[in-house]
A and B are shown apart, each in its own frame.
Chain A
């Protein structure tokens, strides 16, 4: 049986006291332990940003890449070894801004990845600029008169792109978030966990208190059915006095991208190993050109 402490890292986080990332880190450890996974069975892939330092703060396999390219790196790892639980962890700037193109394509492929987005609606590590999920009017150093763009709606985007598991958590609701992450890991196919994550330094609008007054859990909504796409769409568009968290949408039983690759029928590429070509194969290759 694995335990939360198995995932403890000797490295102390550089996050600010009160940062929402602590909640996400703890929820992730708890989810991994609850699923009885061991540190070597998970590969955490992150990008650049405060939250992307997470793999350094947990004992599990980790790859911290470059800004915005988390999903293709995670995809490559999954395609080469689909036995690994590959979990992407990155911020809203990384995932929905610079990595937006990869976000769309990874979803429509139904890649077997968990995609945890630490969504604090601001750029923290670069010290306070507006992000793709900043609300209109949000004042930062790069939007001194207030942001004039519409905020990205990740839940609606995910629905439109064909994601098969779409959820939102709140860093201030640890057990609920841990449960969501565990469900996402168990889901076969792409699983989005957008996490509302207060930045205590640069986002003085969307604070813990602001969220606590607004969030409610979809699973406590009477009659809410996460297999109903239309209902999910309605909830995806809800943002204001009430903000839904939990599982918006899930469709099960669809093939993942990796399920459909002929090369992987004999096991993962890594497990198949490297072997010299047989004489017949060599002859066949040559004969193609004769």
Chain B
């Protein structure tokens, strides 16, 4: 018997509630004190197709999904065909009893068949066939012996808005499924049991970023929907009343970034969020923010490109683009959080960095991080440590006391010019995308152009000192050093943990801040490394290329994946062996 260590997979077509039931079940497990990792996989369509939701559950903190599935909840026959290979021997499949011919094939593979009257329960107890998902969850909980109370509480919370009748019918469906499993099936090796644990949040990267952003005073969001960034603007829209946020759904991404620039220019903490396609449209205005030294936060949640690419899937193919986007050169800061905790921190840090260095800060996420759920202790998001630092922003009082003329783009040693926002009699100036002098007026003087360029670029050198150095995970001395950035943190960490448990000596350098970086420190970190292996969700190894450019060290091996699917620890381990 294996307790509190397994993976569920719910498969079905769009419209069958795969995602909502998966997320709900993950929540129910977390309320029982268990750690979860929830992976969402869906197609770019509203109905039909094939979607799945995968939940890994364990008593200890986990950072990633793994490949092996122990219990498959098949909401349609196709789900069995799609995923039967992933189900381990001794694992089980829950499916509707009306489907013929499944049992023998399952038993041939050593998989336990769990036929259940899913449709009948949904229709009889709930009145709607679509409640099959709830019935299947009830059966899954019953099979594993999981406590019914956390499930009931999640059903109550999630359906409350739809009215008490919907809550009651879903509860009846779940209970019937639960009872059916307990009365009819008793030979499943995987068990779940609620344990004592502190309250935990179940949260994805996008929402974690939102919490950090709101904590650090972001009150202006202008955006245009694009997967996988959309849930940021939706979350903000749902919180405009309570937190006093202006959330503008714009006519396009160009308007989105331009509105954020306008709002930031007059003193709000402003952001936009998009994916690569939308970011492509924003690029010209990104340069405007650079030229006018406007503090701006842009979230770029990547998906596979170019063009529409794989709209609902994951990739890390935009890093080089983000690093160089827009004509000319200007300082920009790039953060690439790897966990939900780091997403929260990135939300909290980005606005401070943007105001301090008066430049765009781009937070790079991807579909995998944006949508995957993880359970974390409530204390993991340290709101108390979030400080609002507006950098060299002159207050009204500062301006009142000012005796000399205010020059918005004053030449300074740090390159940071004290900033004043429009609406004060002493802060009357013009900002322009043209080359300008200290006062802000347009100029074509070569000496001023050179001086102004140097001033701006000096900010990057100051910022470099406070960027986070890459983090080392695993033993200090190792035979293999894996290199990753952003969302690959979870799968790489889990792979490293598993390999060291087997007696291998493997460690991992994780880049969370990407630009600017103290590269000499990176070089130092890599000095003792034996074999270095870059693990990236892209075709050409963007970070491996940056490491070579800025440290001179060629990475020995690259494990690259660009099929639109995230890494799993198993995949990394398997590919480490391949020469």
Judge: A and B partners, yes or no: yes
Chain A residues in the interface with B (C-beta under 8 A): 11, 38-41, 43, 45, 48, 53, 55-56, 59-66, 69, 71-81, 83-84, 101-102, 104-105, 261-264, 266, 269-270, 272, 274-277, 281-282, 284-286, 289-290
- Which residues in B have their C-beta under 8 angstroms from that of A263? 219, 240-241, 244-246
Q: Are A269 and B254 in contact (CB under 8 A)?
A: no
User: Which residue in chain B gives the minimum CB-CB distance to A14?
Assistant: B442
A80 and B285: CB pair below 8 A?
no
Q: By the criterion CB–CB under 8 Å, are B259 and A76 in contact?
A: yes
B residues 238-263 in Cβ contact with A at 8 Å: 240-246, 248, 250-252, 254-256, 258-263
Interface residues of B in 410-429 (CB under 8 A from A): 421-429
Q: Report the bound CA distance from A44 to B541 in whole Å.
A: 45
Contact of B428 among A60, A63, A276, A277 (CB under 8 A): A60
One of B359-367, B380-388, B458-466, B550-558 at the interface: B380-388
B442 in contact with A80 (CB, 8 Å): no
CB within 8 Å for A290 and B292 given contacts A60-B428, A75-B259, A77-B265: no
Q: Which residues of chain A are near B260, meaning CB under 8 Å?
A: 76
Query: Are A11 and B390 interface neighbours, CB within 8 A?
Result: no
The answer on a CB contact under 8 Å between A77 and B262 is: yes
Please determine whether B258 and A76 come into contact, CB atoms closer than 8 angstroms. yes
**CB–CB A73/B261 < 8 A:** yes
Kindly list chain B residues whose C-beta atoms are within 8 Å of the C-beta of A62: 429-432
A262 vs B245: C-alpha distance when bound (angstroms): 8
Tell me if B202 counts as interface (CB < 8 A to partner A).
Answer: yes
Q: A59-B428, A269-B219 are in contact. Are A286 and B263 (CB under 8 A)?
A: no
CB of A53 to closest CB in B, whole Å: 7
Q: Among B254, B267, B378, point to the contact of A72 (Cβ < 8 A).
A: B254
Instruction: Pick the most buried of A48, A56, A72, A286: most chain B CB atoms within 10 A of its CB.
Output: A72
* A274 lies within 8 A of B217 (CB): yes
Q: Can you report 26 residue pairs joining A to B where beta carbons are below 8 Å apart? A: A11-B441, A39-B428, A40-B424, A55-B430, A59-B428, A61-B429, A63-B430, A65-B261, A71-B255, A73-B265, A75-B262, A76-B222, A76-B259, A77-B263, A80-B246, A80-B263, A101-B251, A105-B255, A263-B240, A263-B246, A266-B244, A269-B246, A282-B383, A284-B242, A285-B215, A290-B31
Contact B246 A264 (CB under 8 A): yes
B268 touches A80 (CB 8 A): yes
**A289-B203 in contact (CB<8A):** yes
C-alpha spacing A24/B116, complex, angstroms: 78
Q: Which residues of B contact A101 (CB under 8 A)?
A: 251-252, 255
Does B434 reach chain A (CB closer than 8 Å)? yes
- Beta-carbon nearest neighbor of A76 in chain B: B262
A63-B292, A101-B252, A276-B388 known; A269+B268 contact, CB < 8 A: yes
In the assembled complex, how far is the CB of residue B231 from the closest CB belonging to chain A, in whole angstroms?
A: 13
A102 to B386, CA, bound (A): 37
Minimal beta-carbon separation of A85 from chain B (angstroms): 10
CB neighbours of B256 from chain A (8 A): 72
Task: Show the binding face of B for A, using Cβ within 8 Å.
Answer: 30-31, 199-203, 207, 211, 214-215, 217, 219-220, 222, 240-246, 248, 250-252, 254-256, 258-270, 284-285, 288, 292, 378, 381, 383, 386, 388, 390, 421-434, 441-442
Q: Which residue of B lies closest to A275 (CB)?
A: B217
B234 to chain A, nearest CB (A): 13
A72 and B262 contact, Cβ closer than 8 Å, known pairs A79-B246, A285-B211, A286-B201: yes
**Complex alpha-carbon distance, A104 and B255, angstroms:** 12
Chain B residues with CB below 8 A from A277, complex form: 214-215, 383
For B268, give the chain A residue with the smallest CB separation. Answer: A80
The CA of A39 and the CA of B250, in the complex, are separated in Å by 30
- Whether B220 and A269, one on each chain, are in contact in the complex, defined by CB atoms closer than 8 angstroms, is yes
| Cβ 8 A contact of A79, one of B31, B259, B433 | B259
What does DSSP make chain A's interface, helix, strand, loop or mixed?
helix
User: What chain B residues lie within 8 Å of A105 (beta carbons)?
Assistant: 250-251, 255
Chain B nearest Cβ from A138, distance in angstroms: 28
Given contact pairs A38-B425, A40-B422, A286-B378, enumerate 6 new A-B contacts (beta carbons under 8 Å): A62-B429, A77-B422, A80-B220, A80-B246, A80-B267, A275-B217
Residues of A contacting B381 in the complex (Cβ-Cβ under 8 angstroms): 286
Alpha-carbon distance between A169 and B157 when the two chains are bound, in angstroms: 59
Q: Assess the A77–B383 pair: CB atoms within 8 A.
A: no
Q: Give every chain B residue within 8 A of A71 (Cβ-Cβ).
A: 255
Chain A residues, CB < 8 A from B386: 276
Residue among A60, A74, A105, A290 having the largest count of chain B Cβ atoms under 10 Å: A290
Which of B222, B383, B422 is close to A43, meaning CB atoms less than 8 Å apart?
Answer: B422
The residues of A that contact B426 with a CB separation of less than 8 Å are 40
Question: Which A residues are CB-close (under 8 A) to B442?
Answer: 11, 53, 56, 64
Are the CB atoms of A40 and B388 closer together than 8 Å? no
Known: A77-B263, A81-B266, A262-B241. Contact between A69 and B219, CB under 8 A?
no
- Of the residues A60, A63, A66, A78, contact of B285 by C-beta under 8 Å: A66
Contact A270 B423 (CB under 8 A): yes
In whole angstroms, how far apart are the Cα atoms of A64 and B258 in the complex?
A: 12
Interface pairs A-B: 5 shortest CB-CB: A76-B262, A76-B259, A274-B217, A62-B430, A72-B258
Cβ contact within 8 Å between A69 and B285: yes
Interface centre among A45, A55, A69, A284 (most CB of B within 10 A): A69
In the complex, what residues of B have CB within 8 A of residue A66's CB? 258, 284-285, 288, 433
B422 near A84 with CB under 8 A, answer: yes
Q: Given contacts A53-B442, A75-B259, is CB(A63)–CB(B265) below 8 Å?
A: yes
> Inside 8 A of B424's CB, which chain A residues have their CB?
40
Contact B244 A272 (CB under 8 A): yes
**Complex CA–CA separation, A176 to B178 (angstroms):** 79
**A77 to B222 alpha-carbon distance, docked (Å):** 12
For A282, the closest partner residue in chain B by CB is B383
- Find chain B residues with CB under 8 A from A72 CB: 222, 250, 254-256, 258-259, 262
Which of A41, A64, A74, A104 is the one whose CB lies under 8 Å from B434? A64
Contact A262-B240, Cβ < 8 Å, known A61-B429, A274-B217:
yes
* Complex alpha-carbon distance, A105 and B258, angstroms: 14
Query: How far apart are B247's CB and chain A's nearest CB, in angstroms?
Result: 8
CB distance from B535 to the nearest CB of A (A): 29
CA distance A264 to B285 in the complex (A): 26
A56–B430 CB distance below 8 A: yes
A272 and B388 alpha carbons, distance in the complex (Å): 15
By a CB distance below 8 angstroms, the chain A residues around B270 are 76, 80
A102 to chain B, nearest CB (A): 6
Q: Which residues of B contact A81 (CB under 8 A)?
A: 266-268, 422-423
A214, B5: Cα distance in complex, Å: 84
Q: In the docked arrangement, what's the CA distance between A78 and B259, Å?
A: 9
A276 — which chain B residues lie within 8 A by C-beta? 215, 386, 388
